[in-house]
């Protein structure tokens, strides 16, 4: 039986990274009489490189402070503006690698919170819980962009069934040929080059959900991913996470009432969680397979 010996070189430092998480930034593009525009972001930065000394001896000579990373986000918003989150993330990631000889890879993750103008000038309304996302990896293998959307809540009142499933002694769920199908979509998609049109990809997800007669949420997931690949030829693969927001018919018989699929109880948990990736049936180039 082996035991740990003090002073023995039993351990080594594995993969590591550091950065500044969740820098909140709101940029107002002043439009004068034409009205203002708001960009509301949550930016996280992670860096990798020759950083072992900081972990092993506390030598910080290769460490760019995370506070500096935060300040860079704010400065870039002023100096370069924010056109789209993919471009902003790429600009930041490329800067950290180019400006720091000890940093070899950078990942910038951004969440964008949508606002709609109320009066066309200076007043805005937060547009629900849906969030646009982008993650940019930059390093020796080039730049890779993964875009997406989270919290996209969709519901259809019919055109959904669920039956023919496995039953054992613990099964109580009844089969149904007419049910509410609801989910909160978390989706990401990646390309080999320039980012895909996010609005077009989102529209494809919504259209597929609405237009698919569903016999299972798994089937709907595949149709949603396939629609993005059809509509956005530059996309290599789509990853989807679809929690099943269950809606159960309320038994109104004790009150002498029928319930022809009209009154439901919306359960938030526990919930089914359906996840999967839809990709093109071709070899993905090695240079775009790497992940941070």
User: For residue 67, what is the enclosing H or E element?
Assistant: helix 66-79
CA dist 135 and 148 (Å) reads 9
3-class DSSP state of 60: coil
Largest CA distance in the chain: 78
Distance, in Å, from the CA atom of 22 to the CA atom of 111, rounded to the nearest integer, reads 9
Residue for token pair 């720091």: 100
Q: For residue 80, how many other CB atoms are within 10 A of its CB?
A: 13
Q: Which residues contact 245 (CB under 8 A, 6 or more apart)?
A: 153, 155, 182, 183, 184, 266, 267, 268, 271
Question: Of all helices (H) and strands (E), which one includes residue 97?
Answer: helix 85-99
CA angle 76–81–83, rounded 5-degree value: 125
Mode of pairing for the β-strands spanning 142-156 and 23-29: unpaired
- The verdict on whether 66 is a catalytic residue reads yes
3-state DSSP: the chain helix, strand, coil percent, rounded to 5? 25, 35, 40
Annotated active-site residue in 20, 70, 138, 156: 20
| Dist CA 73 CA 66 (whole Å) | 11
Among 23, 66, 145, 157, which one carries the catalytic annotation? 66
Q: What does the angle CA 202 – CA 39 – CA 20 come to, to the nearest 5 degrees?
A: 95
Q: Which of 70, 137, 138, 246 is catalytic?
A: 246
Active site residues: 20, 66, 246
């Amino acid at each position: 039986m082996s035991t740990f010996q003090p002073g023995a070189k039993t351990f080594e430092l594995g993969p590591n990274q550091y950065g500044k998480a969740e820098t909140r930034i709101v940029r107002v593009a002043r439009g004068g009489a034409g009205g203002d525009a708001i960009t509301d972001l949550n930016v996280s930065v992670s860096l990798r490189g020759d950083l072992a000394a900081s972990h092993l001896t506390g030598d910080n000579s290769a460490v760019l402070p995370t506070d500096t990373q935060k300040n860079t986000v704010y400065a870039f918003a002023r100096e370069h503006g924010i056109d789209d989150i993919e471009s902003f993330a790429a600009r930041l990631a490329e800067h950290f690698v180019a400006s720091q000889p000890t940093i070899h890879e950078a990942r910038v993750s951004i969440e964008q919170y949508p606002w709609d103008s109320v009066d066309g000038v200076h007043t805005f309304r937060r547009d629900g819980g849906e969030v646009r996302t982008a993650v940019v990896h930059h390093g020796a293998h080039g730049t890779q962009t993964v875009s997406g959307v989270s919290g996209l809540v969709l519901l259809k009142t019919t055109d959904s069934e669920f039956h023919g499933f496995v039953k054992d002694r613990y099964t109580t769920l009844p089969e149904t040929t007419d049910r509410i199908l609801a989910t909160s979509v978390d989706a990401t998609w990646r390309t080999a080059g320039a980012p895909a049109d996010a609005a077009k990809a989102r529209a494809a997800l919504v259209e597929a959900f609405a237009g698919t007669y569903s016999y299972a949420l798994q089937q709907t997931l595949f149709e949603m991913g396939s629609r993005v690949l059809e509509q956005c030829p530059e996309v290599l693969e789509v990853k989807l996470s679809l929690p099943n927001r269950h809606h159960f018919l309320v038994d109104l018989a004790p009150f002498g009432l029928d319930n022809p699929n009209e009154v439901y109880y919306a359960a938030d948990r526990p919930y089914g969680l359906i996840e999967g990736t839809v990709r093109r049936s071709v070899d993905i180039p090695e240079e775009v397979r790497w992940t941070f």
